[in-house]
C-alpha cells in the first residue's frame, strides 16, 4: 500500500507515467486500473519525458499569437489549454465544412486543410509529443491561424452579406 501511494504521488507530481494495455493512463483512468491486484499487475511505470523550458516558452508565444490570450506555464496545463482551444476550432470547422459542402460558400479546401492538421494534433494525447509536434509545425500553424481567422471572419460576420448577394444574383 505504501508503494502504491508513492507511485500515485509521483504520478500526480508529473514525474512518472502509468501505462495499461499499451496506452498512457490519464488521471481519471488510474483508479480503475489500480483497484484490485489483478488489474494492478497490468500497469507499468515509466519515467516521464518533459519538454524543454525554451520549447514551452516558444509554444506559449505561439499560442498567444494564435489565440490572443496568455497561455498557462506548466507543460500539462499548456497541453490541456491548447487541446481545448484546438477542439473548439475543430468543432467550428466542422460546422463550416457542412456549409461549404453545399457549394454555396467558399473555403472548402482551407477548411479541409485546417481540419487535417487539427485532427493530427488533437489525436496526440501525450503532452511531450503534442508540444514537440507544435514546435515542429510552428511556421505552418502561424499560416493556418491566419487562414482560420479569415474563415472565422467570413462565416461569423460576412455570411449574411454573402447570402444577400447570392440571393440578389
Residues 113-163: pLDDT tens digits? 999 999 999 988 888 889 999 999 988 899 999 999 999 999 999 999 999
Angstrom CA distances, 81 to 1, 70, 137, 150, 153, stand at: 34, 10, 18, 23, 23
Q: What is the model's pTM?
A: 0.78
Residue 42 is predicted with a pLDDT of 81
- What is the spatial distance between Cα 79 and Cα 105, in angstroms, rounded to a whole number? 33
- What is the spatial distance between Cα 110 and Cα 106, in angstroms, rounded to a whole number? 9
Residue holding cell 503532452? 127
Amino acid at each position: 500500500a505504501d508503494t502504491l501511494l508513492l507511485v500515485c504521488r509521483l504520478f500526480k507530481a508529473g514525474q512518472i507515467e502509468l501505462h495499461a494495455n499499451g496506452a498512457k493512463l490519464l488521471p481519471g483512468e488510474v483508479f480503475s486500473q489500480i483497484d484490485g491486484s489483478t488489474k494492478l499487475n497490468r500497469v507499468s511505470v515509466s519515467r516521464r519525458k518533459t519538454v524543454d523550458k525554451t520549447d514551452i516558452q516558444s509554444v506559449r508565444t505561439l499560442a498567444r499569437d494564435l489565440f490572443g490570450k496568455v497561455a498557462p506555464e506548466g507543460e500539462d496545463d499548456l497541453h490541456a489549454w491548447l487541446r481545448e482551444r484546438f477542439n473548439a476550432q475543430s468543432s467550428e470547422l466542422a460546422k463550416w465544412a457542412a456549409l461549404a459542402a453545399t457549394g454555396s460558400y467558399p473555403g472548402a479546401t482551407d477548411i479541409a486543410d485546417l481540419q487535417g492538421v487539427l485532427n493530427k494534433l488533437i489525436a496526440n494525447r501525450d503532452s511531450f509529443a503534442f508540444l514537440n509536434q507544435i514546435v515542429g509545425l510552428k511556421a505552418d500553424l502561424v499560416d493556418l491561424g491566419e487562414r482560420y481567422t479569415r474563415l472565422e471572419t467570413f462565416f461569423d460576420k460576412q455570411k449574411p452579406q454573402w447570402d444577400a448577394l447570392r440571393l440578389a444574383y
